[in-house]
Amino acid sequence: MTEIWRLLQIFRVIIRYRLDQLLPKKQLPLALRPLLFIAKINAVPELSRGERLRKALEELGPIFIKFGQLLSTRPDLVPADIVSELDQLQDNVPPFANETFKALVQTALGAPVEEVFAEFSSEPLASASVAQVHAATLKSGEDVVVKIIRPGIERIIEQDVALLQLIARLVARFSTDGKRLRPEEIVEDYRHTIFDELNLQREAANASQLRRNFAQSPLLYIPEVYWDYCRRDIMVMERIYGIPVSNIEDLNTQNTDMKLLAERGVEIFFAQVFEHNFFHADMHPGNVFVSTETPERPQYIAVDMAIVGVLTKEDQYYLARNLLAMFRRDYRQVAELHIQSGWVPEGTKINDFESAIRSVCEPIFEKPLKDISFGQVLVSLFQTARRFDMEVQPQLVLLQKTLLNIEGLGRQLYPELDLWSTAHPYLERWLENRFHPKSLWGELKRHGPEWMEKFPNVPHLVFNALNRIQTVGELGAEIRETRAQLAQQQTSSRQSRRKSLIAGLAFAGAALTAWPNVVHEVAQATPQTLVLLGIGALALVLR
Highest mean predicted confidence (pLDDT) among 16-30, 119-133, 150-164, 432-446: 119-133
Pairing of strands 220-221, 143-149: unpaired
Highest mean predicted confidence (pLDDT) among 74-83, 225-234, 344-353, 508-517: 225-234
Shared-domain flag, residues 160 and 277: no
Mean pLDDT over 345-359 rounds to: 89
The tally of domains found in the chain comes to 4
| pLDDT for residue 311 is more than 70 | yes
Shared-domain flag, residues 471 and 408: no
In this prediction, residue 378 carries a pLDDT of: 76
The more confident residue out of 446 and 532 is 446
The more confident residue out of 240 and 89 is 240
In this prediction, residue 374 carries a pLDDT of: 72
In this prediction, residue 300 carries a pLDDT of: 96
Shared-domain flag, residues 470 and 514: yes
212-216, 316-320, 503-507: range with lowest mean pLDDT: 503-507
Shared-domain flag, residues 381 and 496: no
- Counting residues of the chain whose pLDDT is more than 90, the rounded percentage is 24
449 falls within a domain: no
Q: Are residues 310 and 263 in contact, defined by beta-carbon separation less than 8 angstroms?
A: no
215 falls within a domain: yes
Shared-domain flag, residues 408 and 518: no
In this prediction, residue 219 carries a pLDDT of: 95
38-52, 252-266, 434-448, 476-490: range with lowest mean pLDDT: 434-448
Shared-domain flag, residues 120 and 161: no
Alpha-carbon dihedral angle through residues 227, 228, 234, 238, given to the nearest 10 degrees? -60
Shared-domain flag, residues 121 and 218: yes
98-112, 175-189, 208-222, 353-367: range with lowest mean pLDDT: 175-189
181-185, 242-246, 359-363, 464-468: range with lowest mean pLDDT: 464-468
> 186 CB contacts (<8 Å, ≥6 apart)?
70, 71, 74, 77, 168
Distance from C-alpha of 418 to C-alpha of 219, rounded to nearest angstrom:
18
175 falls within a domain: yes
- Boundary-marking domain end, from 400, 435, 470: 435
In this prediction, residue 369 carries a pLDDT of: 62
**471 falls in which pLDDT band (50, 70, 90)?**
low
Predicted confidence (pLDDT) per residue in 386-416, tens digit: 778 776 666 677 787 788 778 878 878 888 8
485 falls within a domain: yes
The more confident residue out of 127 and 103 is 103
**Catalytically active residues, by annotation:** 282
Shared-domain flag, residues 468 and 538: yes
**75 falls in which pLDDT band (50, 70, 90)?**
low
- Boundary-marking domain end, from 287, 308, 329: 308
Predicted confidence (pLDDT) per residue in 473-524, tens digit: 665 666 666 666 666 666 665 555 555 555 554 545 554 454 455 444 444 5
Instruction: Read off the amino acid at residue 525.
Output: A
| pLDDT for residue 460 is more than 70 | no
**540 falls in which pLDDT band (50, 70, 90)?**
very low
Query: Concatenated DSSP letters for 160-198?
Result: HHHHHHHHHHHHHHH-TTHHHH-HHHHHHHHHHHHHHHT
Q: Are residues 139 and 117 in contact, defined by beta-carbon separation less than 8 angstroms?
A: yes
- Counting residues of the chain whose pLDDT is more than 70, the rounded percentage is 70
Mean pLDDT of the chain: 77
504 falls within a domain: yes
| pLDDT for residue 321 is more than 80 | yes
Shared-domain flag, residues 205 and 104: yes
Shared-domain flag, residues 131 and 215: yes
180 falls within a domain: yes
Distance from C-alpha of 397 to C-alpha of 382, rounded to nearest angstrom:
9
User: Which residue range forms the structural domain that includes residue 346?
Assistant: 311-435
Q: How many CB atoms lie within 10 A of CB 197?
A: 22
- Boundary-marking domain end, from 388, 420, 435: 435
Angle at the Cα of 206 from the Cα atoms of 205 and 208, rounded to 5 degrees: 65
193-202, 412-421, 428-437, 526-535: range with lowest mean pLDDT: 526-535
Q: Are residues 69 and 89 in contact, defined by beta-carbon separation less than 8 angstroms?
A: yes
**120 falls in which pLDDT band (50, 70, 90)?**
very high
Mean pLDDT over 293-308 rounds to: 92
353 falls within a domain: yes
In this prediction, residue 481 carries a pLDDT of: 66
Mean pLDDT over 93-99 rounds to: 83
In this prediction, residue 290 carries a pLDDT of: 95
Angle at the Cα of 170 from the Cα atoms of 168 and 171, rounded to 5 degrees: 65
In this prediction, residue 210 carries a pLDDT of: 96
171-175, 191-195, 348-352: range with lowest mean pLDDT: 171-175
| pLDDT for residue 37 is more than 60 | no
442 falls within a domain: no
In this prediction, residue 250 carries a pLDDT of: 94
Tell me the chain's radius of gyration from C-alpha atoms.
36
Q: What pTM was estimated for this model as a whole?
A: 0.69
Highest mean predicted confidence (pLDDT) among 191-205, 224-238, 336-350, 520-534: 224-238
Shared-domain flag, residues 52 and 103: no
Shared-domain flag, residues 483 and 413: no
Mean pLDDT over 109-128 rounds to: 90
Predicted confidence (pLDDT) per residue in 122-162, tens digit: 899 888 778 899 999 999 999 999 999 988 888 888 888 88
